[in-house]
Homo-oligomer: A and B are copies of this chain.
Amino acid sequence: MDGIGDSESFLAAYDPRAYDPIAVTVDVVALTIRDAQLQVLLVRRGEQPQAGSWALPGGFVRPLIGPDGERTEEDLAQTAARELAEEAGPQLRATHLEQLGSYGTPGRDPRMRVVSVAYLAFAPEMPEATPGTDAADAQWVPVSALGLSPTGGPVTRSVTQRPGTTRPLAFDHAQILAAGVERARAKLEYTPLATAFVREPFTISDLREVYETVWAEKLHAGNFHRKVLSVPGFVESTGDQTESGGPRGGPRAKLYRRGDATLLHPALLRPTSEEAARP
């Protein structure tokens, strides 16, 4: 239950400040597709512990002190959105934000008990994070460069930050990132969220590139095309087409915007999803 326990004595004895406090943070796994790669927004830690390591953007949940000194409190999702805007620059407008999970294993932060509520954000392709702002230390990094183990367990490889300088992700952020990537892969199957990675209007090929990049699988262009158009409400034609053909030739493509479906029926299943089902 929330709040107080079952016994009156506990209520009487309970003083929130008498216990070791538990800190609550919000961390964000922000994914985008840049250079035909799935990339995640990371920030450089300037402070101990793990100074110099890359970490997920995020921060403590605490009351905000306004200019008038008045205090307001944010929803957890609002906190996630604000952290993202602060650390990636205001030009990042995530098209999707959902809760990923919470991480509270004792010892995951060496200073105190910290429970992190992780959020997952999808954004269309972004220009480089702008140095000179709050986001000076933020950078998009290809997920493949992080060498995640499938389980998100201990990371053996690491980020190449500058020539000769590599470090693994701070805390248990590799595990959180792995969970975010897997969630993204699964959600492309059953939801129209692939459209959150592209700007409108988009072509069916744009959408296929999203699937191929996130799933790390080549898809059959013809079958994919017919499949997307056959799912009710996935995409909606604008009536227009691209100004020109592709960079290496080909006809001009029809343009689409997001449809009104919230789930894909039938779903677009991953080609290899079968192998993962058995031990």
Contact = CB atoms under 8 A, between A and B. Distances in A.
Interface in A40-89: 43, 45-47, 49, 55-63, 73-76
Contact of A3 (B101, B102, B106, B111): B111
A260 interface: yes
B115 A58 contact: no
A27 to B, nearest CB: 7
Contacts of A4: 47
A278 B263 CA distance: 7
A224 interface: no
Interface string A248-271: 000000000000111111000000
A154 B138 CA distance: 41
A240 interface: no
Given A2-B171, A276-B263, A21 B21 contact: yes
A113 interface: yes
Q: How many copies does the complex hold?
A: 2
A61 B6 contact: no
A76 B104 contact: yes
A86 to B, nearest CB: 9
Contacts of A21: 16-17, 21-22
B25 A22 contact: no
B170 A20 contact: no
Contacts of A173: 1-2
A109 interface: yes
Given A75-B105, A76-B102, A115-B76, A17 B19 contact: no
Contact of A113 (B58, B73, B137): B73
A88 to B, nearest CB: 13
A3 B172 CA distance: 12
Nearest to A279: B260
Contacts of A232: 277-278
A8 interface: yes
A23 interface: yes
Q: Ordered nearest first, which 3 A-B pairs have the shortest CB separation?
A: A73-B106, A1-B55, A263-B277
27 contacts: A1-B58, A1-B171, A2-B27, A3-B23, A3-B49, A3-B109, A3-B111, A6-B46, A6-B47, A6-B134, A6-B137, A11-B47, A16-B21, A22-B61, A24-B24, A24-B115, A61-B115, A73-B106, A75-B104, A75-B106, A76-B115, A101-B102, A232-B278, A233-B278, A262-B276, A262-B277, A264-B277
Given A115-B117, A263-B273, 7 more contacts: A1-B43, A2-B116, A2-B171, A3-B114, A24-B104, A61-B115, A260-B279
